[in-house]
Structure 1
């Protein structure tokens, strides 16, 4: 588990104990990066599966290169949520909010880039701002909370730096009026408009509740902008036209593509990325293959 969040994994270990799994079937080792490095490099390890940052994923790939260890990597993302002018606006707004603000944006496949067709930009943004104004920021253990605490002081500093860079580079920043708790690490849900593909907030993974809005006129332009990223983990398409959805899905370089929804998963379907979002798949038959010797 990540060094900043070991307790949830240890809680899972206790669930395994309560379920009656024999000792040794599931082993959880906590520690920082050096602990992970020792596990990856150990000669007794046959298979490594890593979910985390692209930087660490590259280091793991270098470590196992030249060995017979199998490797799957699920790394960073900068997913595009693409909204066409015929999309159901209210449904799209819910998908956008779920895509970027779920789990405070601490999601590899978060829909952190909103690509909206120019003709419906104003209508969509008005509806999105109204919805963002209803989001509740607070105790993540409260079932009424929409956006909880940021993972760590280090991650909060990273989010703050990129948000400040967005303003400095000319994008327009907006957040709803919300009262943040007095203690802990918090960041209000944030929306940037007037974003170009050159902005850092459009290129770098923020891993926080920050949404960058870009516009497009044609499906071809939407594809070009969506694919203009080193990542390729997920994408969303919002349209009533089935033919357009299928055409877009065939052009987008993303491992998982949703149509008129976002962040919906089926354990029988493979999940994974292209490019710097990793390789290999989790879930379904494809996810089992990396654990088999045949």
Structure 2
């Protein structure tokens, strides 16, 4: 499997199926391994790293080792059913508390954030479906991390903050807009890092003033740089209301983390205190809310 893994990496780097096909000759590949390789390649296709032709050639070859039922209509996926999507395509990223999956719904790609502590799909999900209807989130149950984050994400999106658009939520799971890109900490070098930093600081201010939220865990890991270079703020699971006790200390830390990253990697900076005071003035007025 190690040799096939190296060949798969070479295939992606060259956008050429031959390295992987050569490594397949004489190799014993289980249906599970075949599906794992295909999942990895489909993610790379979604990111634009390989062509449809390369993916198609390998799909045709690996289909020979798949179980018969895997060549036709797949077995129902309980997580896909619970999320209200057609199928799960693969994993985008993993985190400490949740995984983000790529899925397809009505012919469109969507992202699923699935909290590990409670996926909920093993329960009577028909009793626990939560959708945006007429601008309202129906039947939200208190205490669920996914539903709390969905509410914050929707609040930020409606305030004009650059975040993935939230679609639906169930306990333990959020369905949201899929934005192709990479987290800031591993994204390719930015063409104009100063303008990206300014854009992000404006988004932080808008989040605090218009959505009345402070991110709470802002860093290069929680910013997604889209393939078009647009930065998006993600993961609002730790967000707090801007008028809560300690919120401005949290805001100061968020802004400092962001500015420090750009200073280290790109040599561009901004005045952290100025950003925080800008929010304070807009939220409380010139000299209010201190202390």
TM range (shorter): under 0.3
Structure number with higher relative contact order (C-alpha < 8 Å, ≥ 6 residues apart): 1
Give TM-score scaled by structure 2 length: 0.20
Give TM-score scaled by structure 1 length: 0.20
Q: Which has the larger radius of gyration?
A: 2
